[in-house]
């Protein structure tokens, strides 16, 4: 495998469970030193794709290669350099956390360079039994198990489930450092803000098909958001309507709702000319996002 070869390649990757579609015709490449977000609603096919990358599921059609090796036929070799967090973390309930970490550690030769650092940064108590851990602490254990050996690739399925906001922030900082060392992250999520703040590129999957892949900057520039503003005096909607980024302005009871797409700098400058009492800038839900980008049918709209 050369430096130029993408770390993850999916070629017409398809999985059907009997007649039920998992994912269909997925073509995708993820390069070195990249955090790739795989975004889609529940049931879109994210977990199916990740399970095929991890060699848990056999593709119905097509193939996936990880680090230049076939994800199904050479799965064992790949896992020497791949860390994985499943969507539904299941651990050995009767083991102590330190024993579990030791057990997983022994599958690979040599010491784990990040083990102690991760335990400290995630504030994980390794003396406890797994069965006594909360949902969040189980997730921390899964993070340590997946990342402690500093793998070449991380394949993560909804990795922040159960983590509190502080720990989520710490986790994303760790992921950023991981990427800065030239490693690759493939991460699935159905939470738009999570993908937006951590990923370099996103792939959007809907109803078992990849509908778009774009750089996060491109995504940000085209994202539609709602801004609810309360002014101290009456302000006319026309001046906001004239801004090219503003799609619509509505007056609702005591406040004004401005729907804006992309760069918000001009809008903020215009707002600063008035006395603003309150301002909320809501992130769109995934459903809003799909509606704004792809319409009801899921077909990509012109941006």
Q: Catalog residues that contact other proteins under the rule CB under 8 A.
A: 51, 54-58, 75-77, 79-80, 82, 84, 86, 88, 90-92, 94, 103-104, 106-108, 145-146
| Those residues with Cβ within 8 angstroms of residue 85's Cβ, 6 or more apart along the chain or in another chain | 139, 142, 143, 146, 154, 155, 156, 157, 159
Contact 145, 114 (CB under 8 A): no
Q: Shortest Cβ distance from residue 57 to other proteins (Å)?
A: 5
Q: How far apart are CA 259 and CA 246, in angstroms?
A: 6
Of the pair 134, 296, the CB lying nearest other proteins is at 134
**Residue 191: helix, strand or coil by DSSP?**
coil
Of the pair 42, 107, the CB lying nearest other proteins is at 107
Of the pair 96, 257, the CB lying nearest other proteins is at 96
Place of tokens 């800065």: 180
Q: Shortest Cβ distance from residue 257 to other proteins (Å)?
A: 43
Contact 178, 148 (CB under 8 A): no
Q: Shortest Cβ distance from residue 72 to other proteins (Å)?
A: 10
**Residue 84: helix, strand or coil by DSSP?**
strand
Q: Shortest Cβ distance from residue 145 to other proteins (Å)?
A: 7
Of the pair 55, 208, the CB lying nearest other proteins is at 55
> What strands lie across the sheet with 255-261, from one edge to the other?
246-252, 255-261, 224-231, 276-282
Nearest in space to 91 (alpha carbons), one of 83, 82, 101: 101
What's the half-sphere exposure (Cβ side, CA atoms, 13 Å) at 82?
A: 26
Q: Shortest Cβ distance from residue 273 to other proteins (Å)?
A: 56
Instruction: Classify strands 8-17 and 82-85 as parallel, antiparallel or unpaired.
Output: unpaired
Of the pair 78, 163, the CB lying nearest other proteins is at 78
Q: Shortest Cβ distance from residue 146 to other proteins (Å)?
A: 8
């Amino acid at each position: 495998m050369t430096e130029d070869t993408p770390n993850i390649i999916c070629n017409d990757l398809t999985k059907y469970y009997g007649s039920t579609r998992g994912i269909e015709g997925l073509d995708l490449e993820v390069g070195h030193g990249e955090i790739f977000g795989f975004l889609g609603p529940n049931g879109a096919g994210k977990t199916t794709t990740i399970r095929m990358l991890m060699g848990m599921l056999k593709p119905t059609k097509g193939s996936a290669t990880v680090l230049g090796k076939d994800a199904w036929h050479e799965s064992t070799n790949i896992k020497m350099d791949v860390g994985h967090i499943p969507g539904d973390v299941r651990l050995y309930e009767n083991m102590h956390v330190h024993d579990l970490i030791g057990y997983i550690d022994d599958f690979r030769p040599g010491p784990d360079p990040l083990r102690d650092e991760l335990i400290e940064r995630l504030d994980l108590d390794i003396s406890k039994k797994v069965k006594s851990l909360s949902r969040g602490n189980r997730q921390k254990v899964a993070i340590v198990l997946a990342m402690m050996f500093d793998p070449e690739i991380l394949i993560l399925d909804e990795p922040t489930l159960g983590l509190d906001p502080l720990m989520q922030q710490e986790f994303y900082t760790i992921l950023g450092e991981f990427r800065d060392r030239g490693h690759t992250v493939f991460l699935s999520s159905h939470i738009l803000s999570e993908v937006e703040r951590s990923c370099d590129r996103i792939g959007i999957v809907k109803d078992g098909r990849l509908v778009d892949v774009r750089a996060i900057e491109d995504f940000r520039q085209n994202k539609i958001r709602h801004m609810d503003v309360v002014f101290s005096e009456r302000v006319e909607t026309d001046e906001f309507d004239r801004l090219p980024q503003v799609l619509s302005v509505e007056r609702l009871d005591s406040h004004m709702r401005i729907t804006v797409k992309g760069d918000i700098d001009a809008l903020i400058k215009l707002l600063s000319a008035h006395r603003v009492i309150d301002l909320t800038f809501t992130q769109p839900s995934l459903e809003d996002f799909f509606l704004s980008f792809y319409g009801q049918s899921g077909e990509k709209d012109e941006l």
